[in-house]
Structures are given as structure tokens and as C-alpha cells.
Amino acid sequence: MNQLEESLLDAPIIEKEGYQYFVHPISDGVPMLEPELLREIVIKIIRKADVDVDKIVTPAAMGIHISTAVSLMTDIPLVVVRKRQYGLDGEVALSQVTGYSENEMYINDVDAGDRVLLLDDVLSTGGTLRGITGALEEIGAEIADVVAVIKKEGGGNELEDTDYDVRTLINVDVEDGAVVITDSHGDD
């Protein structure tokens, strides 16, 4: 069994406003993230994703550590979609709606014609990725690939009715207060 799978099976579950939420180093930074787990994930992303891109785009905050590691391994520049508005030229606002929150986010440093890889930690409802893909389309960027490390089943997926197929490394569900692996290879 690989480290990602083992770590997910050991993940504690909390309930947040009726939403069963697993607590994991990749999605929460708690418990601590072991370098071996991060290394395994980065290697899997590089093997699965289209990395012939100009930029990696990731939402703050939990996509940053994964995307930073991928950026370091591939020499692809990294753009972080932030929850803070800076008012810089070319900044584009988007709405992020997840299973448990709603926020405004802002993209800087992506231009029309940029070929991008969109990376995130977890695909649960697809709300974050839907907002970002819409903003990238508005900018005129080409979304070469969309990758999430973990897909949580049962939350619906707002990207299902779009042209984007999200590649995942592993798919899970939460049943009776425990993480269950539904596909140890994820979606291609």
C-alpha cells in the first residue's frame, strides 16, 4: 500500500455543519506532512499531469505546498490564487463556493494565451476549481490540465458539465466516520 493511501485510511473525521470532513496533511496541514508523502504525491502528479505548460496555478492555501514542490521539480513558474485583493493590473476576481464556505479569490500573473496546469489538494464539490477555470477562461488562458490529489466522492462535482476532466491521484469517500478508498489510482 502506498503512503497516500495509508495516510488517508488513518485520517480522522470531523463534522462541520453536516459535512463529514477528513483531516489530512495534504488538505489541512494537520497532522504534519512527512517529506516522503509529499515526494510520493509530487512524483505521481508529474507522471499523470500535462506538464508542458507555462505556469502552474493553484488556490491558496492548501494547494501551495504541493504546487511549490511540483514547480521546484519541473521549473514551471507558480501562480497562487489568493483570497486577498491586491488591485494589480490584470487582477481577475472569482467566487469560490465549497461545501462549507464561500469566498472571493483573485488571480494575478496569468495572461491570455498562457498554457496552465491547475493543481489543487482536494476535489470535493468542485466549487473552487469551477471558479478558477471560469476566471482562467475569462483571462483567455489555455487550461492544459486540471489535477487534484484527492477526490472526495459524494459531494457532487461542479466541473462535470464543463469541458474539464479532473485527474486525481486517489478517490475516497467517508462512510461511518472513516475514510474509504474508492479508487486507489484516481481518475485519468
Grid-cell match 504525491, residue found: 41
DSSP 48: H
Class at the top of the CATH hierarchy for domain 2-76+111-183: alpha beta
Q: Mean pLDDT throughout 3-14?
A: 96
pLDDT digits (tens, 9 = 90+) for 136-184: 999 999 999 999 999 999 766 778 888 899 999 999 999 989 999 999 9
CA 152 to chain centre: 12
| pLDDT score for 187 | 95
Cell numbers at 35, concatenated:
517529506
Between 103 and 70, name the one with better pLDDT. Answer: 70
DSSP 134: H
CA 109 to chain centre: 19
Cell numbers at 182, concatenated:
474508492
Cβ(15)–Cβ(21) below 8 Å = yes
Cβ(104)–Cβ(96) below 8 Å = yes
Between 20 and 144, name the one with better pLDDT. Answer: 144
pLDDT digits (tens, 9 = 90+) for 76-126: 999 999 999 999 999 999 887 665 567 899 999 999 999 999 999 999 888
| pLDDT score for 88 | 96
Q: How far apart are CA 110 and CA 91, in angstroms?
A: 9
